[in-house]
Amino acid sequence: MRRTEAVVIGAGQAGLAMSRCLTQSGIDHVVLERGRVAERWRSERWDSLRLLTPNWQSRLPGFRYQGPDPDGYMRMPEVAGFLERYARSFAAPVEDGATVLAVEGGGAGYRVTTDRGAWETRSVVIATGHCDTPVVPAIARQLPDDVVQVVPTRYRNPQELPEGGVLVVGASATGVQLADEIHASGRPVTLAVSRHTRLPRVYRGRDILWWLDAMGVFDEKADEVFDIAASRQQPSLQLVGRPDRATLDLPALEGRGVRLLGRAVGAEGDRVFFADDLVAHTVAADTRLARLLQRIDIFAARTGLDAELGAPEPFQPFLWPAAAPTEIDLRAEGIRSVVWATGFRRVYPWLQVPVLDARGEIRHEGGVTPSPGLYVIGLYFQRRRKSSFIDGVGDDAIELTAHLATYLRRAA
């Protein structure tokens, strides 16, 4: 049995940022990682994926992107390389290939069991990721057996799908990107759309994320927003990071021939049913986007950027021409595969400390759980809107390390 002051579970950006801050504070710790550093960026992403955050936005405590292309978007091997270099920069004490099988105990200390031995520790930081396990709606079970079903963590490229049409369910970042590349491969794509966040890639000559960063949107704190539960349910940004900085929204997809339908709500045999809510969702997304662009324009005027940038760009609402069908027949239409781009959930089968709520989520206040010495980091909007992003987890890590250090001092 090995002993340490803190065990961090997971060596993605969240676990590494935490490790960097613990190292800075002189707190003895280990980072347990079932795979390798940045494992999910290596093995759970598709081939063509690039970050949707620009390179300059890859900022972690004591480390940042310093390459020649600050406005570009990293491919996955580059992300893994970036995080590997980060780990090396402070000699992060990562134990690779150690899967955590159980976390037991409480305030008096924890026992962390892995497939490579056990640790005794006074504190534990769970950094196993917000995007842990793909959500697959119950209707998946009603689909015929010969329809191939794929989740984004397993999808690699269109060539792995059978020939024929593809139904992509979900129109956030993942759904629109996969719909676009599958369609480009020559397979007719139907995209089931529900709540989404429409954004242009570039507005008035600046990356949309530059604007959100400059306006402090990502810094918004969880305890300051009107309804944090609602904010935590917000869909991911409908964006893609491509060298041409193209916008990938529903009008763009429709223009290329992707068929848009409402939310997928049921299935029976070969038939799949959709809500009659496409217009409602696109109008809602447009309303939010128009409001955001207006905020940007006000910000630009107030900060004197107007002169530099030229006039505000007119907003182009998505004009939906015809009612979308609410039912399709997969066989009749030659649709042979379904991609579930329906978000992620988190599962903690190894967590034997009673901190999970009825939905299986960890109960916490800004990452501090009700079990003294047990923390979580990297959840969506955990302390700030940016908490689950490469650029955002660092501030949370600094604050959680301060909390953890105080806890260790008091408990000593």
Binding site for ligand FAD (CB under 6 A): 9-15, 32-35, 39-40, 45, 51-53, 99-100, 127-131, 174, 350, 378, 388-391
Min CB(339)–ligand FAD separation in Å: 13
Work out the number of other CB atoms within 10 angstroms of the CB of residue 77: 11
Cβ closest to ligand FAD, residue 82 vs residue 274? 82
Quick one: 20 or 336, whose CB is closer to ligand FAD? 20
Measured from the CB atom, is 51 or 253 closer to ligand FAD?
A: 51
**Nearest distance in Å: CB 47, ligand FAD:** 12
Distance CA(212)–CA(353), nearest Å, equals: 38
Task: Quote the least distance from Cβ 317 to ligand FAD, whole Å.
Answer: 27
14 vs 292, which CB is nearer to ligand FAD?
14
Q: Which is nearer to ligand FAD, 127 or 248 (CB)?
A: 127
Q: Least distance (Å) from ligand FAD to the CB of residue 354?
A: 18
Residue 266 beta carbon to ligand FAD: minimum distance, rounded to whole angstroms: 27
Residues composing the chain: 412
Looking at beta carbons only, is 337 or 387 nearer to ligand FAD? 387
Q: Which residues of 34-47 are buried (b: 16+ CB within 10 A; e: fewer)?
A: bbbbbbbbbebbbe
> Considering the complex, what minimum distance in angstroms separates the CB of residue 198 from ligand FAD?
17
Q: How far apart are the C-alpha atoms of 221 and 228, rounded to whole Å? A: 9
Do 21 and 401 meet the contact criterion of CB atoms below 8 Å apart?
yes
Q: Quick one: 105 or 378, whose CB is closer to ligand FAD?
A: 378
Q: Are 262 and 281 in contact (CB under 8 A)?
A: yes
Rounded to the nearest angstrom, the gap between the alpha carbon of residue 322 and the centroid of all alpha carbons in its chain is: 32
Q: At what angle do helices 13-24 and 76-89 cross, to 10 degrees?
A: 10
Least CB distance from residue 320 to ligand FAD, whole Å? 27
Q: Parallel, antiparallel, or unpaired for β 206-207 and 271-274?
A: unpaired
Within 13 Å, how many C-alpha atoms sit on residue 382's CB side? 30
Q: Which of 288, 287, 207 is nearest to 240 (CA)?
A: 207
With CA atoms as reference, report the closest residue to 171 among 104, 219, 238, 110. Answer: 238
